[in-house]
Amino acid sequence: MKRKVLIIYTGGTIGMEKDYESGSLKAFDFSTIASRIPEINLLDCDVTLSQFSIPLDSSDVGPEHWTAIAKIIEGNYEDYSGFLILHGTDTMAYTASALSFMLKGLRKPVILTGSQLPIGDLRTDAKENLLTSLYYASFYDGDEAVIQEVALYFEYKLLRGNRCIKASAENFDAFKTPNYPILGQSGVNLEADRNILYRAPKDEAFNVDLHISKKVFLIWIFPGMNLNELESFIKASEIKVLILRVFGSGTFFSDKNIENILLNIRANGTEIVIISQCISGEISIGKYDNSNIFKRIGAISGGDLTAESALTKAMHLIENPHYTESFGTLFQKNLRGEMSN
């Protein structure tokens, strides 16, 4: 049986070409993709294209677009074997993370890819990324999809979407999952490590939960930072979750004035989540005395979450009427393979 893949083209370098007058990269009409990569017609799957009316640089992609993509997948879920999202690389890790939380009980592959060089460039990475992603999006063992999660394919590697960071603005090998192994490699054979792939709980039916709140804010802590205005800012902008990207395994200033500011923020009903500035490793509250402040103020550990995953998880969970457990309990649970237990 021929598998069917729906390509959702959102924009990014992969769909751009050089405008020879201005010298800048501009989006081209993506419906002409098959004439640019005729190999698409040789694949053992049928491909249909759905595209955003205006292709976006991914720096303009946000919650509205995550919702739009999730709705397209929901509306086409039964008709396709897999989904391939073509997306700019700059915020691809955010979109992948957000979708992983919005798509519950997923049993089909949702693959994101893009490229560092436009498709028309002689040295482009777009062709390989696109063609192999289509393979992964239609990779089945009999009736069962091998990939049943939101994953990102780039430069011969398949990675868990909500574990990804964009690690290089220049290398073809642009994405990393520092706290999780690579899900699959494309060499002579297409491989996937079946022992580490995500599987939704058996009793969880496919269901799209579009809830995404914008009342989340993230701050990168740095030595000597002035946090005096933080409380009034959090109050005025009605932030419900404040994510602090703190030092190392979870250390922070011992200054009592700053502790009081954070206590007041908590007393006003805002959750405080702690994640690390380090690329790999995890938060360990209590390891150093300078992390005990987080016990005293009732902060939530983000474990080994990436910033992209912590942000989108908080956006999805805060004030979400579809969950009954508290934000803190849910946030510290591994919902879609995004964090280690």
Point out which residues bind ligand ASP (CB under 6 A). Answer: 11-13, 57-58, 88-90, 114, 116
Question: Which is catalytic among the residues 10, 13, 270, 312?
Answer: 13
Residue for token pair 């649970």: 333
C-alpha–C-alpha distance, residues 107 and 75, integer Å: 15
Distance of closest approach, residue 94 Cβ to ligand ASP, in angstroms? 11
Task: Please say which residue, 18 or 194, places its beta carbon nearer to ligand ASP.
Answer: 18
Distance of closest approach, residue 16 Cβ to ligand ASP, in angstroms? 8
Distance of closest approach, residue 124 Cβ to ligand ASP, in angstroms? 11
Distance of closest approach, residue 60 Cβ to ligand ASP, in angstroms? 8
Task: Please say which residue, 94 or 180, places its beta carbon nearer to ligand ASP.
Answer: 94
- Which residue in 312, 306, 69 sits closest to 164, CA to CA? 306
CB environment 110-142: b (16+ within 10 A), e (fewer): bbbbbbbbbbebeebbbbbbbbbbbbbbbbbee
C-alpha–C-alpha distance, residues 236 and 311, integer Å: 20
Is 13 annotated in the active site?
yes
- Which residue in 204, 191, 266 sits closest to 231, CA to CA? 266
Q: What residue ranges in the chain does DSSP mark as E strands? A: 3-11, 16-18, 25-27, 45-56, 82-86, 103-104, 110-113, 140-141, 144-145, 150-154, 157-160, 165-166, 175-176, 184-185, 207-208, 216-220, 241-246, 271-276, 300-301
Task: Please say which residue, 12 or 303, places its beta carbon nearer to ligand ASP.
Answer: 12
Task: Please say which residue, 164 or 265, places its beta carbon nearer to ligand ASP.
Answer: 164
Task: Please say which residue, 63 or 105, places its beta carbon nearer to ligand ASP.
Answer: 63
Task: Please say which residue, 95 or 251, places its beta carbon nearer to ligand ASP.
Answer: 95
C-alpha–C-alpha distance, residues 341 and 239, integer Å: 27
Distance of closest approach, residue 243 Cβ to ligand ASP, in angstroms? 22
Angle between helices 92-102 and 307-317 (to 10 degrees): 40
C-alpha–C-alpha distance, residues 206 and 13, integer Å: 32
Distance of closest approach, residue 113 Cβ to ligand ASP, in angstroms? 10
Q: List active site positions.
A: 13
